[in-house]
Amino acid sequence: MPTWTHTLDQSRICGPQLRRDYSEQRRLVAQFARAEYAAVRLLLQPSLVPDVIAATAFMHHSDNLIDQGSRSERLVALADWDRQVQTALGSDRSDQPVLRTLIHAITRHPQLREHVEQFLQGAQLEVEWEDFSSESDFQRYIDAYSLPAFMLIACLLASHSSTPDYRASCRTFIEASQRLDFLEDIAEDLATGRLGIPQDALALHGVNRDDLHQARATAGVRELIRHQVAQIRPGLTASYGLVDLVEPLSRPLTHALVTLQELRLRAVAKAGTTLLRRATSPSVVAALGVLAREYRVSRRQRGDH
């Protein structure tokens, strides 16, 4: 794996301030998304790594800002952040490193600007949601927020990222991933008054929120979790089709991301109703195995020895 200095050099990021800005975002991303950071550094061509880190840092910073405090406080935070981002995009200047790196990434990948704006537009739904009455409400959330968030990264992996086929494949992946996130994080979400499983899914199995709050391992709760797992699995399987739609040098990373989600799903399925008490995680050994296999592929593609 190239050193970070070499990565910046290969990306032609030369100014001292900009190099410090990118290095700060790298440090932050490595802290909050260790597995994803490791995958990006190991599997993606070095010239693209800083841009993916810049987009990821922006997404995480935005999410943190609108996830603190009451609903009204979050709405105020979103409005203020949207103003700051729009000002930065309009002037190509900012006093914040996270926005300076984002602006620079946009100069290299102009398609990113559109996805930044779509992400901010959908962020209000992220601020406001507490649960979903129906599957239709969940699907609207995917379209408004989850997909635009993923496209911040996905638009950098394919030169034809605006095509309907690519966007549809990205949506398939992010729908499955978001449903998995909500299932894996159910205990944490319930503690904050949120629930990502639609109410009509609970009703189908005769389950109510109190059953979940009290971590009751009833037959209905067990069947609810099995049904959610069954909904996720086909989407992840279909998501391997996304690998063929990205640029060749981005395929090892994309394949790894889908495979790592499958490992998460296996862990969730095995955990069953214990998810109501604590989150689970996939085998570290298995995850490292995925990264090692894809690293060998990526080295062959780049002609490394």
Domain 1-128 matches domain 156-305 at the CATH topology level: yes
Contact 207, 220 (CB under 8 A): yes
**pTM for the whole thing?**
0.93
Q: What is the pLDDT of residues 229-239, one digit of tens each?
A: 999 999 999 99
Q: What is the pLDDT of residues 183-237, one digit of tens each?
A: 999 999 999 889 999 999 999 999 999 999 999 999 999 999 999 999 999 999 9
pLDDT score of 204 = 96
Contact 218, 272 (CB under 8 A): no
Q: What is the pLDDT of residues 249-271, one digit of tens each?
A: 999 999 999 999 999 999 999 99
Looking at the predicted structure, is the pLDDT value of residue 132 above 80?
Answer: yes
Report the percentage of the chain scoring pLDDT > 70: 99
pLDDT category, 293, cuts 50, 70, 90?
Answer: very high
Looking at the predicted structure, is the pLDDT value of residue 305 above 50?
Answer: no
- Could you tell me the fold of the domain covering 156-305? Farnesyl Diphosphate Synthase (1.10.600)
Sorted by sequence, the CB contacts under 8 Å of residue 136 that are 6+ apart come out as none
The per-residue b/e assignment along 228-253, b for 16 or more CB within 10 angstroms, e otherwise, is bbebbbebbeebeebbebbeebbbbb
pLDDT score of 304 = 61
Q: What is the pLDDT of residues 48-92, one digit of tens each?
A: 999 999 999 999 999 999 888 888 899 999 999 999 999 999 999
Q: What is the pLDDT of residues 136-193, one digit of tens each?
A: 999 999 999 999 999 999 999 998 888 999 999 999 999 999 999 999 999 999 998 8
Could you give the 3-state DSSP secondary structure of residue 67?
A: coil
The two tokens of residue 12 are 């032609």
CATH architecture of 1-128: Orthogonal Bundle (1.10)
Domain boundaries, the chain: 1-128, 156-305
